[in-house]
Amino acid sequence: MPVEMGRGARAALPRVTLVLGGARSGKSRYAERMVEAAAAVGTYCATAQAGDAEMAARIAAHRARRGAFWRTVEEPRAIAAVIAAEAADARPLLIDCLSLWLSNLMLANAALEEESERLYAALRLANGPVVLVANEVGMGLVPETALGRRFRDAAGFLNQQIAAFADRVVFVAAGLPLVLKGG
C-alpha cells in the first residue's frame, strides 16, 4: 500500500475504485491491501468458477491468501445483487473480478448491456465502498477467434465505463501501482 498509516489509523477508500492489470500483475493482492488498510473487516465477492483443475488451483490459492478479515461471497454473475446486499461503510466490498464476471455472462448468453446497466445502477446506489478488479486485456495480441475478439472488445468497453464512473483507478504492473485517476 503506498500510503503509510499510523497505528490504528485507517486509509479512506473512495466510493468506487477500479484496479486494472494484466494476468499475475498483482492487482488482486493490491486491491485486497487497499481494503485491509481501510477497514476492520471486508467482503470478498469472487466471480471465478472452477471449470478445470488449473482454475480450481487458482481459486484455492486466492482462498488460502485471504484470512479471517474477509467474508467471502462466491457469485459468478449476479454481482449487482451482491453490491446491493453487501457494500457497507463498515465492511467494504471487493469484487474480483469483472473480467471473469463478463466471461461468465458471455458463456451464459446473458444480455451484456442489461447486466452492465444493473452493475452501474448498483454502484451508484452502493451503501459503502466498492473495489473492483479487472484484467486489462487489450494490450496483447489480437485474439484469434471471433469470441475472443468479442470478449476483448466487451472487456475494454466495460473497463472504460467503470473507469469513467470510478472515483479512483489504479493500474498494477509487476506488483507496482500506477494511479490513473483520483490520486
Residues with a known catalytic role: 62
Q: In this structure, which amino acid lies at residue 88?
A: A
- Cβ 138 vs Cβ 158: under 8 Å: no
Q: How far apart are CA 15 and CA 3, in angstroms?
A: 18
* Strands ordered across the beta sheet of 16-21: 70-74, 42-46, 93-96, 130-135, 16-21, 168-173, 176-181
Q: Look at residue 55 and give its three-state secondary structure.
A: helix
Helix axes 146-165, 112-125, angle to 10 degrees: 20
10 Å CB burial of residue 40 (0-12, 13-18, 19+) is: exposed
Q: In this structure, which amino acid lies at residue 87?
A: A
Residues in the chain: 183
Cell of 107: 458463456
